[in-house]
Amino acid sequence: MKKLLNIGFATVLFGLVMVSCNDDDYETIESIDKIKIDSVKIVNDTMDVFALQSIKTYSTYPSQCQGFYGYDYIYNNNLERTVTAYKYITNGPCAQNSYTGANQINFSPRQKGKYTFKFWNGGNNWITKTIVVK
């Protein structure tokens, strides 16, 4: 039994070493920066309390070295939200062709009301969307 435990432990340790040494496929993230949200797709502009809806955002990335990093999702008050998207920039060689990336926010309201979403569209510009929650 002790011999089987030693073999199992050695196998797990070997597997961890092999996985940790195999990160050549990933480029290092050099920086994070805002990226404007070009458009927003909301399927239902009316929904129920506690229901779940995915809000999709679309941004254009100038090269394959850039991609979606995350959102800054701020509750300004009970019914107003501002959303800013961020991109990562890597240091590796990549194609310089632009592409459009789609991402989503899952929205599940906890109270009734008229929710206003403002999505950053560059500079002082915002895309405003409204969802009525019944």
**Farthest CA pair distance, the chain:** 68
**pLDDT at site 25:** 58
Mean pLDDT in consecutive groups of 10 residues from the start of the chain, 134 residues: 52 50 67 97 97 98 95 95 97 88 97 98 98 98
pTM for this model (two decimals): 0.78
Confidence at residue 17, expressed as pLDDT on a 0 to 100 scale: 47
Task: Supply the CATH classification number for the domain 27-133.
Answer: 2.60.40.10
Q: Strands, E, within 1-134: which ranges? A: 29-35, 39-42, 46-47, 53-61, 66-77, 80-90, 99-107, 113-120, 126-133
- What pLDDT does 76 receive? 93
Please list the residues that pair with 54 across neighbouring strands. Answer: 106
